[in-house]
Every structure is written in C-alpha cells, then in structure tokens.
Amino acid sequence: MSALPQASSPPPLPADTPAGLRWIELAEAARRSGRAEGHLCRRCRDDWASAGLAQQRPVGDRGQLGWWIHESADPVFARAKHTAEFDRSRLTDKQRRLLSQRETAVAGWRRTGGEDTDRYLDELAAAGVLISRRTLYNWFQRFSTLGTRGLVDSRWTARKPKGDDPYADFYRELEKWWLDQHQPAKKLAYAIAAAFCKTNGWAIPSYRDACRFLLFLERKHRGKVIRAREGDDAFDNQCGAFTRRDYTRIVVDGVERPMRTHDWWCADHHICDTIVTYKSHLIRPWLSAIMDIRSRKIVGYVFSPVPPDSSTVLLAFRHAIYDSDMSIPLVFYIDNGKDFDAWFMQGETKWERKHVRVKHNIGAFKGVLAQMHVRVVHANPHKGRSKPIEPWFGTYEEQFGKLTWTYCGRSPAHKPPHLAERISKGEAVNYEEYCASAAAYIQQIYHHNPHGGGGMDGRSPAEVYAACFEQKRTTTKEAADLCLRKVARDVRVRQNGVQWQGRYYGQSNLALSAHQGEQVYLFTDPNDHDRVIVRDLELRLICEAEAAYMPPWGNTSERQWKQATAAMHRHNRQLREIRDRGMGRIRDPMQILLEDRMAQAGKGPDHPPTPGSVTMIRTGFEGEANAEQTAFARAVGAESLSAPTSGAMSILEKLAGNSPPSDDGDDGHDPWAILRSQNHERADEA
C-alpha cells in the first residue's frame, strides 16, 4: 500500500471546522460557483492557501496534485443555496428594471427546458431584451448557483465604506496610494495598502471588494480621480466647467451691440500632422492662422517649414489685412507667447508688459498693432479652449490632414501603421504641393461648408462673413505698407551706416550719414532683407537704405570689387564736398520757394471724412509716397502708388492742408545740422 492517501479521499479538515462543512475538488467548486477553474486557481494560490482554506492534494485515479477547497472559503460553495430575497433597496430604479428583465428571461428559458434557444432569443429581442446565447447561459448558471444575487452586475453594487465598516481604514489607505499621478495599477495599490494595514493589524478585504470600492470612486468622484491621477490640465479638459460666449454680441466702450465681421481676430500656430519633404528633409510644416471670430473665416494664414516666430506673425497679419480688402480689426486676440508679445508688434516686450508698471519715455513707436489702432487682448495662459481658433486646427486635420498620404497623427499613439512604409518608399508629398493643397482646402472647401458653431445657424463662414460685414476700418495702401513691417529696436548710425542681423545698410547714403551717432529705427520687410527704411526716434523718415556688398576673402570678382570700392570712394568724396562747399550744392531752389509760399499760405483745411460706413485709420504714415518708397513697394509686390516721382511732394499736395515747414534758421556753416533740419522739415510736411 502506498503511503499517500487515496486519490478520491479529501484532506483532513481543520480542527476548528464548523460541523457539516467539508473539502471539495476544484471542478466541483467551479460547478457550484459558476466561476472558471483558472479564476479559482488564482484565488487558491493568492488568498485561500495562506488562510488554510485551500490545499494541493492528489486528485483522480492517477494521483496528480490538484486543488481542494474548503466550503467555508466562499459562500457560493455551499451545497444548500441561500434563498433569501436579495435586497434591492441599494439599486436604482433603472437597475431594478434590468434585474427584473434578467429574472424573467432566465425563468422563461428554464420553462422551455433549454430547447429551441434561437427561437426564444428572437422572442426576447421582440420584447426589447437583446442578449446573446452566451449571455443567456451565463445568467442561467449564475442564477442556478447564487439566485437573484447572481444576476446583479458587480458595477451596480460598487461599495462605499460606511462609518462602522471594518475595512474603512484599509479603504482610506488604498485611496491614498491609488490616487497618484504615477497612475499605479489597482493590484499594486492593493498590495501596498494590504502590506501597510497588516503591520497595523487592520482588517483587509478581498481584492474584488477593493476593486468595487475603486469603481465607486471612479463613478461618484470622477473629477477627483482624474485630477489626482492625470493632473490639472486633464481635469480642466474633461471635468471642469467653462464659460461659453455669445458670438453674436460684443461690448465696445461699455456699449453692447451686434458683433460684426472684423471686430475680433484670433491667431495661433499649429504644427501640421503630415510628414512632407522640404529640401531633401522630412519635416512637419507649421501653420500660422488668423480667424475672424464672428464668421469663423480664416482671413490670413502662412505656412512655414521652421517653427514660427514674430516675423511669421507679422506675415500672417499682413496677409489677413491685404486679403480682406484692407480691413483692420478692432481687437486682436492672441496668446502670451514671445512671438506675439514681440517688441515691434506691441511696442514693448513680454517682460516689460508684465513687470514694468511705470512707463516714462518709451519713444514714439508704439508697435505695429498700436500704430494701426488695433487693441490687443491676451488669452488666459495655458487655456487652449479660450481661443476659438484652437478647435479649428482639429477640424483642419480631420477634414484635410487625414486625407494626405503621409498623415502621422497628433501623437505616436495615433500614428498610422503604414506611415513608416510609405516614408521609406519616398512617397512623402512635397512641401510646396502640401501648402497649395491646404490653401485650396481653406479657400474652396472650409469657407463654404456649413458650420455648426454658436451664432452660425448652419451657415458657412463665407456667408456669415458677407452678412455681417457692415462697417470697415481701413487706411491707405501706402500707410499700410509702411506699418506692416518688422521694426528693429533702435540702432546707432555708424561710419558704414547701420548694422542689423550681421548686415550693413546705407553705407553710401548721404542722408543717413548726416545722423551719424544717433539712434534710429529700421523698418524691414520679412520677405526682403536687402533694403530697409530708416526713421528717427520720432518716426520721421530719413532714407531708404540698401544692404552693402561685403566681398569675401580670396579670389573675388574684379567687377564686384571695383563697384564696391567705387561706391565707397564716391560716398567719401561727396562727404568732403559737403564739408567744403556747404549746402548750396545739394539744396533745391524750388524747395526753398515752395517752403516760403506755404509759410505765407498757412495750414489748409482738413479733408472731410469719407462718407458711408468706411472709417479711415490715421497711422501717421499717410502721404509718404516718394520715389524711393514707390520702388520699395513695387519690390515687395505692392501696387503702383499714385505719387510724384521726385523727392519733394507736389505743390497741390502740399497746399492741400499739410503743415508748413518749421522755421529753425539756416546757419550755412554746419552741413550736418542743415541736413538734419532738411529731413525734419520734409517729415513734418508729410
């Protein structure tokens, strides 16, 4: 005889085993409880074995080891089922209706004897109970073992610890470890809380009860769980309430009125979710867009292969004004980035705006936006939903970005599986082709699609833009060309002119040499760095200066070297002539007579305002349309300006109401003072 017990004999019972309870095999426990054998094996290994409620003993004729479970390990193993009525008071009305439907379905199937199940499922579907064959089997098995309690979804009874709950201390410890931004798993938080409670002698519930408690937290305190595990941004985006604005009304100077087109513009940047080819490199393009908030129309946009900066913002703003028929917004709504808070855009840096409280003498230049009488409003920091253009970028990617061949998704989790294969085959679209297709989508598709936003009433942005275009704030084309330029902070005039970004301008310019040692402003075009407009600190025009040629070291072209050297010698020779002969050689006699005539005539009447609904904006640059500015405007693509081609303004234009020149005197001995006086007089006349 073998020393091992017989295969079918159960292990000995513990001494404190209640009468009537015994050991059962794993298969019998699975049949009684309706649970999978794998699940019961894990419970035996993790929970019951350490408590002496599960043991591994030989099972079957072959004597292989298997689990024996004591009936006291779980009430579901009892031979006589508990037939007491389930307490339904803890359930909601909807949960009680669902429970009754499940009881009716199981009872009806039991009456049929399990025959013709498909026909019975069709009858349930006709009655509004849509379940599968497997679900019906599971319900029947759980009802047979547990009664009504087996038909209750575990999520319905997610528990909330009561004041007299013996596990209250454990649940508080579990909540502390689980509500962490490291986002630990439930099993890990349960293990740590159990280890801590074991050292303190606190009662420890089962893992399933702990999961029910955490489920209760997720359902009843969703905001608390998301903020604790995912952070403040996730809480604001998923749970936090926010204020919705009326897109049909606006308050201007304390007076409420209907919101019109070009009242508010909103701007922001977006990195496109498409891989393109640019100069043999794979990049993701940047899109800088400006939206008219009333109509949701994209009035201006610029694509860039590199991250945007303040120059990109200026180009987008220029495009918005030119493309909207010289319309100037009332308010420009932007975020707090340094590219929007640039000095030349607002007349002060971001640090100055936040820290400098007392402003004494900050110069005459107020920034491009203030020069055009545009009010700036900054959005709340780190609040993407406060800018209406942010959701449009999602619409752009949904309607256009996902149609591109090499769409990459907004994050690695959203990257298409075939992206790497398409890129390896060289199928990425060209950057220029992508920009052209995107522009066609914005102009031809988005602007004419129905929009479901507030105040749109299902109309397209183009329709709302035209319907609400009641008043236009504008200025002259010449003034806008001068305003919409990047302005460098004051630089000093040197022997070789002015230096900006490693280049010298106005090396051979006599008008600029007259201001040597003074501080000046440089007005530049972001698309053309070969020439700049130079103004003094009072914004009076000095000259237009071109970039000087800088010959490299080594074998230089003889023609270029001769031209650069000749220009330098000619400039120095002219300076010597001025010093020797005075202003008589460069002053225009007709200019002197004209100044005398205007001094006698006095200032003419102002021009009457333009009739209609067009409001002209005085930027301070109207009337400056000499030959040099005309050439500069043509160089940057502007239309021809109807202005005289000579350096001086026409007599009719001067007699029409411009201010007479200042009578400061002319000593005839100091050429530098004469040149400065002449430039100041011309600027005052303008």
Residue-wise pLDDT for 486-503, tens only, equals 777 778 888 778 887 778
Does an H or E element contain 269, and which?
A: strand 264-271
Does an H or E element contain 631, and which?
A: helix 627-635
Q: How far apart are CA 493 and CA 503, in angstroms?
A: 13
509 confidence band (pLDDT: 50, 70, 90)? confident
Residues 6+ apart with CB under 8 A from 81: 145, 146, 147
- Which amino acid, 220? K
267 confidence band (pLDDT: 50, 70, 90)? very high
286 confidence band (pLDDT: 50, 70, 90)? very high
Helix axes 558-581, 671-685, angle to 10 degrees: 100
pLDDT digits (tens, 9 = 90+) for 521-562: 888 877 777 788 888 887 788 888 878 766 666 555 666 666
Q: Look at residue 307 in the predicted model and tell me its pLDDT.
A: 92
Provide the 8-state DSSP code for 494.
B
Q: Which one has a higher pLDDT value, 561 or 469? A: 469
Q: Look at residue 644 in the predicted model and tell me its pLDDT.
A: 37
Apex 147 CA angle, 205 and 77, nearest 5:
55
Indicate left, alpha or beta for 382 from its phi (over 0: left) and psi (-120 to 50: alpha).
Answer: left
Residues 6+ apart with CB under 8 A from 417: none
pLDDT digits (tens, 9 = 90+) for 155-176: 676 555 555 678 888 998 999 9
576 confidence band (pLDDT: 50, 70, 90)? low
φ and ψ at residue 369, rounded to 5 degrees: -70, -45
Is 467 a residue whose pLDDT tops 50? yes
294 confidence band (pLDDT: 50, 70, 90)? very high
Residue reference for tokens 């009680």:
96
Query: From start to end of 595-644, where are the E strands?
Result: 614-616
Q: Look at residue 277 in the predicted model and tell me its pLDDT.
A: 95
Average pLDDT, the chain: 77
Does an H or E element contain 304, and which?
A: strand 297-304
| CA dist 318 → 302, 367, 524 (Å) | 10, 14, 13
- Determine the distance from the C-alpha atom of residue 457 to the mean position of all C-alpha atoms in its chain, rounded to a whole number: 26
φ and ψ at residue 478, rounded to 5 degrees: -65, -45
Give the range among 236-250, 592-606, 611-625 with minimum mean pLDDT. 592-606
Mean pLDDT of 237-261: 85
Structural tokens at position 579: 């010093």
Does an H or E element contain 677, and which?
A: helix 671-685
Tell me if 137 sits within 8 A of 129, measured CB to CB.
no
Q: How far apart are CA 492 and CA 351, in angstroms?
A: 24
Structural tokens at position 498: 């002015």
Give the range among 14-23, 308-317, 534-543, 617-626 with minimum mean pLDDT. 14-23
**Helices within 337-400 (DSSP H only):** 343-346, 350-355, 368-371, 389-399
Q: How far apart are CA 132 and CA 124, in angstroms?
A: 10
Q: Look at residue 616 in the predicted model and tell me its pLDDT.
A: 75
Q: How far apart are CA 543 and CA 355, in angstroms?
A: 35
Does an H or E element contain 531, and which?
A: strand 528-536
Q: Which one has a higher pLDDT value, 251 or 579? A: 251
Q: Look at residue 584 in the predicted model and tell me its pLDDT.
A: 45
Structural tokens at position 539: 């914004």
Burial class (CB in 10 A: 0-12, 13-18, 19+), 163: exposed
Beta bridge partners of 301: 289
Is 189 a residue whose pLDDT tops 90? yes
Residue reference for tokens 């004729």:
61
Residues 6+ apart with CB under 8 A from 86: 147, 148, 149, 152
- Residue of 671, 684, 524 whose CA lies nearest to 583: 671
pLDDT digits (tens, 9 = 90+) for 340-398: 888 778 877 777 777 765 554 555 667 788 888 889 888 887 776 778 899 899 999 99
Q: How far apart are CA 505 and CA 496, in angstroms?
A: 8
